[in-house]
């Protein structure tokens, strides 16, 4: 799709007079941009009424960009079906779990299960691919826009209901098998036909978790099928073009690994300041990093999406200044626009594309900054992008992301299962994964975030966060793995149908770990359980398990004398949710025992390797000395690293 490291921008030619386009394209090229994403919300301009296509303007826009040597990533417009289409097919609208129709007037107003809407998508995408599939200016396609944004994966429409019943029939064959799998004898929930099954909402109290987890799986499968309709059409007409989608921050409602089976490159939309405002619960941290973003959040997603993209990823939308959608929309500290971009490249991104070229003076996103102000004066981000492009020239070919020795296994299904039966209000899969990631990264490590299909052979240490259902193939891979394995609580505690396994947790990992979990408890953070490890006292802060040790060593015990950490050969099991201090101490020891070199980093200083380069980023709060962290020739930056600045060293071979 792109050069090894390209700078891009999101552009909406349909928002501006055509007389501006040529100048826009020239200035894009001059600032160092080589890729432009366009078109993803333009259906009402591409097809103002059913069957009347108006593609000439888009063709002229692509020609104009192409004339400046810019490669176009063409977005399919399916996130914004036009009014005439919605009116012709009103049942294509999604329905919330409150039973209300999610109407026209913003975006993403469609139900993934609606077959008629899928056909309409196939039609418009096919027309676009017919027209632009061989255009030399188009280098790649983006399907739709941010699947799942605005909580749109699960829809409770009639189409979803009928689709779900079919899906269940295909999965279980007979309704008796479904009753068995869901345990419907409980509370007399048995069905005598698939047609009796409803969507899991509107019941008096909690619906059956097996029912809900299957609905999560079904809903995820609809996103995959919806996307495949488009990739099939594009591949037929534009076989040489790359296809991608722009994923989001901490979004878990569909299986991104599965979507990527039909795609070439995973991209994601990185909004560091919007994200810290939305996701950070610790108010002190939120304020320290309000203008820089969390030092690990961007990196986590780079590593996750590089994992989903089997090594290929990029940033499709990079925040350029204040956004419009968080509760509070802070401005970025000077330097951060360049830093975020470079950090993406350091993690192996092929593309960092800024959102958007020019701030829109109308409609919903008027407060959202761009590279240019609404009056077309360059904004601060413009100059930072210019600087980033000079940095890139200096670095030349950076190669690929340095191989990591440590991996975290990530599972969307684990997240659904834990969400559907959390058992402790504060138990959060994402919190656990992200804390694990942060603890490892503070040790200066390069990390991979991988799915259950990844080849684990090259890792010295694998962390397996809570994964209730461990598929057989993955259990075998874990048994064959030769490095150190740390398994976190709740793993193997459910079957695929969401039952407790016959042999209790950790189910298929019982022999590997040499333990059996006999009881669990959850608690408020205030009532933490002390854990003695490494001659110090730490805590389990939300969850504890009581285990029977069959054939493992007990490495640490909790304050009541119960095993807190066990180890059988190379496989360790933690029986509770560790606080940050315990995670850091334990991971540090495991990493060093596994023979991986570490380097303790101060608060907001982070590192990443790509090819022969090592990158250093300062998220704050204080300046640091570069020589404390980097060896080799410094090719970008000076001796001192200010907050919001970057340094890059070329390592001696």
Interface ranges with ligand GAL (CB under 6 A): 145-146, 149, 269, 271, 317, 323, 325, 355, 365, 368
In the complex, the smallest distance separating the C-beta of residue 316 from ligand GAL, rounded to whole angstroms, is 8
Closer Cβ to ligand GAL, 370 or 506, answer by number: 370
How far is it, in rounded angstroms, from Cα 179 to Cα 184?
Answer: 5
Residue 202 burial (CB count, 10 A): 11
Beta bridge partners of residue 267, listed in sequence order: 246, 314
Closer Cβ to ligand GAL, 337 or 408, answer by number: 337
Closer Cβ to ligand GAL, 255 or 269, answer by number: 269
In the complex, the smallest distance separating the C-beta of residue 360 from ligand GAL, rounded to whole angstroms, is 10
In the complex, the smallest distance separating the C-beta of residue 84 from ligand GAL, rounded to whole angstroms, is 22
**Spacing of C-alpha 56 from chain mean position:** 35
Closer Cβ to ligand GAL, 381 or 510, answer by number: 381
In the complex, the smallest distance separating the C-beta of residue 355 from ligand GAL, rounded to whole angstroms, is 6
Closer Cβ to ligand GAL, 41 or 53, answer by number: 41
- Residue for token digits 């002190």? 284
Per-position DSSP letters for 506-538, written without gaps between them: TGGGHHHHTEEEEEEEE--GGG-EEEEETTEEE
Per-position DSSP letters for 552-583, written without gaps between them: -EEEEEETTS-EEEEEETTEEEE-EEE-HHHH
SS (H, E, C) 342-359: HHHHHCCCCEEEECCCEC
Contact 258, 452 (CB under 8 A): no
| Residue among 266, 259, 170 nearest 220 (CA) | 259
Q: What's the CA dihedral at 140, 145, 120, 197 to 10 degrees?
A: 130
**Maximum Cα–Cα distance across the chain:** 76
How far is it, in rounded angstroms, from Cα 337 to Cα 334?
Answer: 7
In the complex, the smallest distance separating the C-beta of residue 461 from ligand GAL, rounded to whole angstroms, is 34
Q: Which amino acids are annotated catalytic? A: 146, 317
Query: Given phi > 0 = left and psi -120 to 50 = alpha, else beta, which region is 560?
Result: alpha
Closer Cβ to ligand GAL, 321 or 348, answer by number: 321
Please, what is the end-to-end C-alpha distance for the chain in angstroms? 30
In the complex, the smallest distance separating the C-beta of residue 437 from ligand GAL, rounded to whole angstroms, is 22
Residues in the chain: 653
Residue 453 burial (CB count, 10 A): 12
Closer Cβ to ligand GAL, 104 or 546, answer by number: 104
In the complex, the smallest distance separating the C-beta of residue 445 from ligand GAL, rounded to whole angstroms, is 30
Closer Cβ to ligand GAL, 302 or 606, answer by number: 302
Closer Cβ to ligand GAL, 146 or 262, answer by number: 146
How far is it, in rounded angstroms, from Cα 344 to Cα 398?
Answer: 12
| Residue among 491, 407, 509, 400 nearest 456 (CA) | 407
In the complex, the smallest distance separating the C-beta of residue 77 from ligand GAL, rounded to whole angstroms, is 12
- Residue for token digits 């299962």? 417
In the complex, the smallest distance separating the C-beta of residue 358 from ligand GAL, rounded to whole angstroms, is 14
Query: Given phi > 0 = left and psi -120 to 50 = alpha, else beta, which region is 561?
Result: left
How far is it, in rounded angstroms, from Cα 75 to Cα 398?
Answer: 28
How far is it, in rounded angstroms, from Cα 422 to Cα 493?
Answer: 12
């Amino acid at each position: 799709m792109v050069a090894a490291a390209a700078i891009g921008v999101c552009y909406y030619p349909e928002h501006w007079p055509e007389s501006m386009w040529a100048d826009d394209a020239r200035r894009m090229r001059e600032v160092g941009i080589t890729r432009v994403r366009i078109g993803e919300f333009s259906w009402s301009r591409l097809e103002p009424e059913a069957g009347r296509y108006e593609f000439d303007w888009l063709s002229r826009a692509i020609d104009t960009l192409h004339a400046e040597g810019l490669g176009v990533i063409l977005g399919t417009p399916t996130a914004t079906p036009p009014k005439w289409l919605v009116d012709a097919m009103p049942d294509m609208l999604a329905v919330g779990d409150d039973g209300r129709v999610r109407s026209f007037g913003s975006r993403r107003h469609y139900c993934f299960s609606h077959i008629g809407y899928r056909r309409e998508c196939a039609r418009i995408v096919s027309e676009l691919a017919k027209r632009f599939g061989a255009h030399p200016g188009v280098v790649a396609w983006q399907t739709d826009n941010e699947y799942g944004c605005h909580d749109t994966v699960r829809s409770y429409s009639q189409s979803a209901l009928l689709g779900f019943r079919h899906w269940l029939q295909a999965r279980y064959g007979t309704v008796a098998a479904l009753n068995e799998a869901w345990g419907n004898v409980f509370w007399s929930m048995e069905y005598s036909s698939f047609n009796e099954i409803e969507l899991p909402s509107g019941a008096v109290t909690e619906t059956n978790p097996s029912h809900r987890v299957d609905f999560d799986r079904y809903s995820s499968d609809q996103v995959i099928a919806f996307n495949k309709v488009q990739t099939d059409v594009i591949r037929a007409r534009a076989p040489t073009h790359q296809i991608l989608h722009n994923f989001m921050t901490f979004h878990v409602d569909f299986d991104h690994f599965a979507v990527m089976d039909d795609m070439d490159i995973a991209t994601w939309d990185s909004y560091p300041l919007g994200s810290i405002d939305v996701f950070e619960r610790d108010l002190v941290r939120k304020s320290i990093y309000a203008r820089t973003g969390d030092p690990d959040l961007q990196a986590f997603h780079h590593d996750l999406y590089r994992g989903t993209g089997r090594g290929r990823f990029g940033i499709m939308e990079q925040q350029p200044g204040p956004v419009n959608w968080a509760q509070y929309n802070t401005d970025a500290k000077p330097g951060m626009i360049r830093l975020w971009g470079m950090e993406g490249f350091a993690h192996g991104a092929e593309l960092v594309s800024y959102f958007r070229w020019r701030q829109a003076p109308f409609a919903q996103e008027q407060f959202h900054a761009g590279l240019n102000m609404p009056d077309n004066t360059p904004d601060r981000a413009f100059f930072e992008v210019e600087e980033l492009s000079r940095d890139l020239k200096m670095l030349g070919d950076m190669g690929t992301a340095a191989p990591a020795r440590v991996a975290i296994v990530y599972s969307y299904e684990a997240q659904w299962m834990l969400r559907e039966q959390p058992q402790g209000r504060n138990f959060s899969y994402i919190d656990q994964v992200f804390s694990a990631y942060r603890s490892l990264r503070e040790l200066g490590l390069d990390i991979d975030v991988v799915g259950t299909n990844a080849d684990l052979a090259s890792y010295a240490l694998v962390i397996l966060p809570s994964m209730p259902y461990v598929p057989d193939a993955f259990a075998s891979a874990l048994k064959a793995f030769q490095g150190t394995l740390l398994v976190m609580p709740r793993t193997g505690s459910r079957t695929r149908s969401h039952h407790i396994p016959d042999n209790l947790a950790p189910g298929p990992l019982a022999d590997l770990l040499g333990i059996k979990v006999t009881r669990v408890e959850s608690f408020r953070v205030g009532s933490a359980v002390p854990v003695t490890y490494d001659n110090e006292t730490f805590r389990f802060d939300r969850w504890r398990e009581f285990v029977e040790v069959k054939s493992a060593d007990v490495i640490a015990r909790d304050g009541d004398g119960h095993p807190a950490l066990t180890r059988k050969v190379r496989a360790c099991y933690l029986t509770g949710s560790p606080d940050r201090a315990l995670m850091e101490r334990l991971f540090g020891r495991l990493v060093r025992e596994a023979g991986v070199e570490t380097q303790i980093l101060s608060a907001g200083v982070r590192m990443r390797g790509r090819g022969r380069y090592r990158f250093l980023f300062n998220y704050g709060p204080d300046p640091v000395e570069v020589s404390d962290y980097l060896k080799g020739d410094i090719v970008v930056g000076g001796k001192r690293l200010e907050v919001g600045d970057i340094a890059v060293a070329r390592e001696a071979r």
